[in-house]
Amino acid sequence: MMSVKDKVIVITGASSGIGEASAKLLAKNGAKLVLGARREERLKEIVDQIIAAGGQATYQSTDVTQPGQVKALVQLAKDRFGGIDVIFNNAGIMPSSPISALHIDEWNAMIDINLKGVLNGVAAVMPDFTSQKHGQIITTSSVAGIKSFPGAGVYGATKFAVRNLMEVIRMESAQEGTNIRTATLYPAAINTELLHTITDQNTRAGMDSLYNSVGIGPDAVARVVNFAVDQPEDVNVNEFIIYPTKQG
């Protein structure tokens, strides 16, 4: 039996891309999905599609920079499906630019969403995961959380931070005996709406050209998420780098 079945999974950044693809695949395999993002109309559409296909899902408009809203999303999972097994911290933005361009507002937005948003997700599930002594935290970092790329100084800084955070959660949970599993995803050129957040024209042109030539769909990452959730409780598959085969 697949251990994805009947798991209650909260996904942030669920209105498109990796979040949407993961929600649909997990629901197809019998998980109960609770979807959060800022675009409520997109969430409703995705949930309607999941239910029409015979799956179970609900949604709530969620801004991950607001701790109370992330808590409310987790509470919805408990109210609607009776518990929480997995949170997938997937919300993120990538307005890449050279540091010298000083897009300081964009730096702050990346820190608020890509790093604090993940921390808000962790905080929202930690009391339940600790008391029930099981749970899984999956987070989208980036290949820019492993390697340094010009143009991605602050974006990469948030993604390196997430990498460290997730590994420390894994180690501390092992020490504390709470059995919390972590999985960190490092996607490379995956075709999603992420590029739409880039305002710096030169950076955008370079990224568009790369993604147009080698990019692959978000289903590639969804399958990895499904694989991680599907492992037995005593197995923690904790880091995944997902490259298009064509990307050098």
* 248 in a structural domain: no
pLDDT of 2 reads: 53
The tally of domains found in the chain comes to 1
* 247 in a structural domain: no
* 74 in a structural domain: yes
Mean pLDDT value of segment 121-137: 98
Mean pLDDT value of segment 220-237: 97
List pLDDT tens digits, range 24-44. Answer: 999 999 999 999 999 999 999
> Would you tell me the crossing angle of helices 117-132 and 67-81 to the nearest 10 degrees?
40
* 1 in a structural domain: no
* 59 in a structural domain: yes
Mean pLDDT of the chain: 96
Residues assigned a catalytic role: 155
Domain that holds residue 238: 8-242
pLDDT band at 164 (very low <50, low <70, confident <90, very high): very high
* 68 in a structural domain: yes
CATH code for position 86: 3.40.50.720
* 27 in a structural domain: yes
- Cα 36 to chain centroid distance, Å, stands at 11
List pLDDT tens digits, range 216-228. Answer: 999 999 999 999 9
pLDDT of 1 reads: 46
pLDDT of 33 reads: 98
Burial degree of 131 (CB within 10 A; 0-12, 13-18, 19+)? exposed
